[in-house]
Amino acid sequence: MTILIRIYLICLAVLVMLPFSTAAQEHCDVVPEAIEQLGVPDLRTYNIWDVVYGVPLEDEAFYDYLPVDDEKVILVGSTRNDLTARPFILSTDRRGRVFWQWKGNPDSGSSLILKRILGIDDKTFLTVGRLVQEGVPQGIWLGIFNREEGTLIKTHVLQKSGIHLEFTDLEKNIEGNGYILSAVQKEAGTHTTPPHARFYLLDKNLDVIEDRAFIPAHENYIHDILVSKTTYGEKFYLAVGEAENAYGRTEAIILRLDPYLNVAWQRSFPRGVGSRFFGVARTRTSEITAVGDVLPALEDASRAGLLISMDLALGTVRQERYYSFPEVDYTGKDVLTLKDGRTLLVMAGYTRNEEHKADHARYLTLSPRGVIMKDLSYSNGKGAIPEEMKIGPLDRIYIGGSTTIEDPDPEDPENKTIRSQDGWMVVGEPIEPYEDPCIPKIREFPKIRGFDDN
């Protein structure tokens, strides 16, 4: 069997950006709630470079990545074939050179999907994934690798008897000497307890120090964790996700945890028929922003991207934004914030009519007051879906996920094609400088001659 690795690169000497919309004149008043009817996504947006990786007739996806420098990146993901999944790690650059590649070989009937990569230091990194084995409960696989050669240094597996654990997120802990990990816990047998979130504190050797279950009486999931502290030095964790309410509807939720994983407060945000949070970021000193999606009550209405900014102390809502476009279902996947107050949002756009628009990543730049300053869309092949967004070297935007590719059918190459999914990552334009027009400038008076400055 011939294995083909495809890496496509776009390298432009001159960048020409074609945003759909830009705020003509920004006002300084904050609109608490707004429904943004987005324009037609322009999929012709240029990028600095991108990578597509795949084996014909198999499905691949990049779930996370680690920018090494302005030209090199390490990507993690999995290859699916039938009912099994095999992990891979790829070190490559903008020219398509593969420096090293690691492929895991789970036992027969087992699957391992790598979902997260986190730099430990300049020489090593940590990867985490979902491990499925025959005859035993699902677990969480952790592996430490060497950056330069891709060699596996250490592995560790989190498993509980009679309990399935499904990994959702990992970050360095508050002190920086270990990790906080979130998972979904499901009973393997009787299912008397609904699936719910569980948090773990790990030391640098990946051993469990502390763990807590979050069981508010209904099914719930955590999708993203944020490590932060107040201006007074108080350290805490924020976790966002979704929970089922007493009526069977899904509500977006946010939790604030202390350093020992105790819940300080929790808030739910029932919106439409159902809502979810997938990402969270610290916006200002006293504010946080969470993103996800909401399903409108109207049966034929498209799912809308959701962004809610709230007070850090108690979770009181300050701003709400809904982003929609006919025949495209949008989901807010990730959010980043800048020191100047701007917010970067990436949404997955799932088209309902492939003949008109392909699946795509929609990348918005918002002003400190939530006004859309830039609206860009990225896609590839027959469509692309983002999973993660990061700010890399030179302040460039990295967006990774998967793309749909068509290949000739080996049994009928002249008339038929077969679709498969490839790993996809795009590097967009650097973040442009911004000066907030709503912040009063400090007037500098000229010095008076004859007066000593001291």
pLDDT at position 451, please?
53
Residue 236 lies inside a defined structural domain of this protein: yes
Residue 450 lies inside a defined structural domain of this protein: no
Q: Percent of the chain beyond pLDDT 90? A: 68
pLDDT at position 452, please?
55
315 and 256 in a common domain: yes
pLDDT at position 449, please?
64
- The domain in which residue 387 lies consists of 17-23+30-48+216-433
pLDDT at position 443, please?
64
pLDDT at position 198, please?
96
pLDDT at position 134, please?
84
pLDDT surpassing 50 at residue 21: no
109 and 229 in a common domain: no
Count of the separate structural domains present in the chain? 2
401 and 338 in a common domain: yes
**What tens digit of pLDDT does each residue of 57-86 get?**
789 999 999 999 999 999 999 998 767 899
Average pLDDT over residues 426-448: 82
193 and 156 in a common domain: yes
**Best-predicted range by mean pLDDT among 15-19, 37-41, 443-447?**
37-41
330 and 428 in a common domain: yes
Binning pLDDT at 50, 70 and 90, where does residue 417 land?
A: confident
| CATH code of the domain in which 160 resides | 2.115.10.20
**What tens digit of pLDDT does each residue of 350-400 get?**
999 877 789 999 999 999 999 999 999 999 999 999 999 999 999 999 999
387 and 359 in a common domain: yes
Residue 444 lies inside a defined structural domain of this protein: no
243 and 207 in a common domain: no
**What tens digit of pLDDT does each residue of 129-161 get?**
999 988 889 999 999 999 999 999 999 999 988
242 and 178 in a common domain: no
Q: HEC profile for the chain?
A: CCCCCCCCCCCCCCCCCCCCCCCCCCCCCCCCEEEEECCCCCCCCCCCEEEEECCCCCEEEEEEEEECCCCEEEEEEEEEECCEEEEEEEEEECCCCEEEEEECCCCCCCEEEEEEEEECCCCEEEEEEEEECCCCCCEEEEEEEECCCCCEEEEEEECECCEEEEEEEEEECCCCCEEEEEEEEEECCCCCCCCEEEEEEEECCCCEEEEEEECCCCCEEEEEEEEEECCCCCEEEEEEEEEECCCCCEEEEEEEECCCCCEEEEEEECCCCEEEEEEEEEEECCEEEEEEEEECCCCCCCCEEEEEEEECCCCCEEEEEEEEECCEEEEEEEEEECCCCCEEEEEEEEECCCCCCCEEEEEEEECCCCCEEEEEEECCCCEEEEEEEEECHHHEEEEEEEEEEEEECCCCCCCCEEEEEEEEEEEEEECCCCCCCCCCCCCCCCCCCCCCCC
209 and 62 in a common domain: yes
Average pLDDT over residues 304-329: 94
Residue 448 lies inside a defined structural domain of this protein: no
pLDDT at position 191, please?
66
Average pLDDT over residues 43-49: 89
Mean pLDDT of the chain: 88
409 and 274 in a common domain: yes
